[in-house]
Amino acid sequence: MTFASSVRLFQTLVMSFHSAIVIETVEEERVRTLINKAINELQMAVFEWSVSQGLTRSQGNSQHRWTNEYAPPGTQKPQALDQTFEPVDALKHIAELPFQAIYWLKDLGPHLKDDDVVRRQLREVIQQFAQNRSTLVITGHSITLPPDIAQDVVYFDLKLPEPDELYRAISEVVRSLKGRISVEIQPDGIDELVQAMRGMTLQQARKVIAFAALDDGKLTADDVKRVLQRKVQVLHEDGLLDYVPPEMNPAQLGGFNGLKQWLQRARVGFGAQAKAFNLPTPRGILIVGIQGCGKSLAAKTIAREWQMPLLKLDAGRLYDKFIGESEKNFRRAVTLAETMSPAILWIDEIEKSMGQSDSDADGGLSRRLFGYFLTWLQEKSGDVFVVATANDLSRIPPELLRKGRFDEIFFVDLPDEAERAAILQIHLVRRKQDPQRFELAALVQATDGFSGAEIEQVIITSLYRAIYEQRPVDTELIINEVKSTVPLSISRREDLHALRIMAQERFVSVK
């Protein structure tokens, strides 16, 4: 939804007697722009309240300025109405004002938790406004309303800035820095900058562009990399998604030829021809199998091969001690993923966050998250390709394994000879070792029954030992490390056998 569409939707809500609108956001600048654009046609006054500023009458935007009769002559900053700093006093004053207006209440949510009077006064104002077309707009980072109030409000989804807003943000920064920087970027470079900033707030976008331009006195195509680096930090600090742009994704996958062929076919689903035929974009895949055999690496490789950003959803960050917050976190995460589409959303070990539990210790939270995930997977609007991985099939709900939930379900077994040879070469080269110096056939034979992660660890420990003994690493040293390692294929032989039997009947091999 574009920002212009958001303005039209907001106007419709106001005109249809929605007396309270909740917007969960920290971008107060965009809320102010939304309201100011809406009142150009609605011809309504606007009041703003915060606990630090009290209740003031807004000046509106440049095309629709209101006269503030409460401010002394010559005063630029709007003056607060008397005795309106406390929430209950502000709400009482609002109820007495003879205006059809929009009343913007900032960070009111925390005041509703422990104050019965504030809650009651808010409810009465909402009921009063339902008759006269005035509207309360309540904003904040995360707003939890009492049930008796929640049923009378509507939640307005103000998504993160769209490309047109980000383009304007770049233009504003360039104008503000005129004379201090030179602009040496072509139009296609601007498009890349805009794409790199998707998923940021307007304030974050302005700051990162200004920093990139001022650092060397010019705005160039090279600044895209700086924006991406800052974006990685911003999303990590937000705490819900880890972000890896294609330029920073070095993943290499040995084997998995069956999966690679399937992905080559699926990729056309994101193209113009598929859209011309009204074909839905691919939903995603579920990869199940043995630990350490490349499931996570497959997710990274898909993002690199498709040249899409990789967004890792860390399930542990979703959970919150407050009721309802975990579900909100998940909605925020998938909304962010859609904003940054086309993208790969990687949900690692999905059974740990949305799997079946032997008890109700989490109050049914896992089941609720699972239900929301299924609904979103079926109805998602953005070009987000989901790669979910799982180790423990016993904890995966049967509904997730049903055909049609994912485009395909793949099973990852232990690597065969050809795959082990590819894995050995990848990790030897990565550690600056020439594969030609080793008896690769002997190493392939020795690592029979080893997973890819176990092979990598053998190479690492062999190099550590070579450094300690002040000798070059060779085939014999690696084979000795192999012999001292007990792989999962032996320590968990029974589990592996049961998993293979199930996979033969239900899943597609990645080979």
Residues 6+ apart with CB under 8 A from 78: 48, 56, 57, 58, 59, 68, 70, 71
* Tokens of residue 122, six digits: 């808010």
Describe the strand order of the beta sheet including 54-57 as a list of residue ranges.
54-57, 45-50, 101-106, 135-140, 20-24, 154-155
342 versus 20: which is more confidently predicted?
Answer: 20
At residue 352 the predicted structure's pLDDT band, cuts being 50, 70 and 90, is: confident
Distance CA 98, CA 44 (A): 12
CB–CB of 349/391 below 8 Å?
yes
* Tokens of residue 82, six digits: 């008397």
Taking residues 37-47, what's their average pLDDT? 88
Query: Could you check whether the bond before residue 472 is cis, i.e. omega within 30 degrees of 0?
Result: no
Model's pTM, two decimal places?
0.74
The model's pLDDT over 278-331, given as tens digits with 9 standing for 90+, comes to 888 888 999 988 788 888 888 898 998 898 889 998 766 676 545 567 777 888
* Tokens of residue 215, six digits: 């650092």
Q: Identify the sign of the CA torsion 233, 235, 240, 246.
A: negative
The model's pLDDT over 353-362, given as tens digits with 9 standing for 90+, comes to 776 655 455 5
3-state SS assignment for residue 187: helix
Which domains does the chain show, CATH number per domain?
Answer: 3-155 (3.40.50), 163-238 (1.10.8), 257-406 (3.40.50.300), 417-491 (1.10.8.60)
Taking residues 160-183, what's their average pLDDT? 90
Q: What is the mean pLDDT of the chain?
A: 86
Q: What is the pLDDT of residue 377?
A: 86
The model's pLDDT over 79-94, given as tens digits with 9 standing for 90+, comes to 888 899 999 999 999 9
The model's pLDDT over 454-498, given as tens digits with 9 standing for 90+, comes to 999 999 999 999 999 999 999 999 999 999 999 988 988 888 888
The residue among 365, 356, 367 whose CA lies nearest residue 321 is: 365
Distance CA 160, CA 343 (A): 16
Q: What is the pLDDT of residue 464?
A: 95
Q: What is the pLDDT of residue 320?
A: 59
Distance CA 228, CA 133 (A): 44
The model's pLDDT over 429-456, given as tens digits with 9 standing for 90+, comes to 999 999 999 999 999 999 999 998 899 9
Q: What is the pLDDT of residue 368?
A: 79
The model's pLDDT over 93-138, given as tens digits with 9 standing for 90+, comes to 999 988 889 999 999 999 988 889 999 999 999 999 988 889 999 9
Residues 6+ apart with CB under 8 A from 181: 174, 213, 214, 217, 218, 219
Burial string for 86-102 (b: 16+ CB within 10 Å, else e) reads ebebbbbbbeeeeeebb
At residue 394 the predicted structure's pLDDT band, cuts being 50, 70 and 90, is: confident
At residue 349 the predicted structure's pLDDT band, cuts being 50, 70 and 90, is: confident
Residue 166 has pLDDT above 50, yes or no: yes
503 versus 343: which is more confidently predicted?
Answer: 343
Q: What is the pLDDT of residue 360?
A: 52
> Where do we find the tokens 């195509």?
221
- Do strands 45-50 and 54-57 pair parallel, antiparallel, or not at all (unpaired)? antiparallel
What are the φ and ψ backbone dihedral angles of 450, each rounded to 5 degrees?
Answer: -95, 145
Residue 13 has pLDDT above 90, yes or no: yes
Q: What is the pLDDT of residue 71?
A: 44
> Where do we find the tokens 């609720």?
368
Residue 78 DSSP code: P
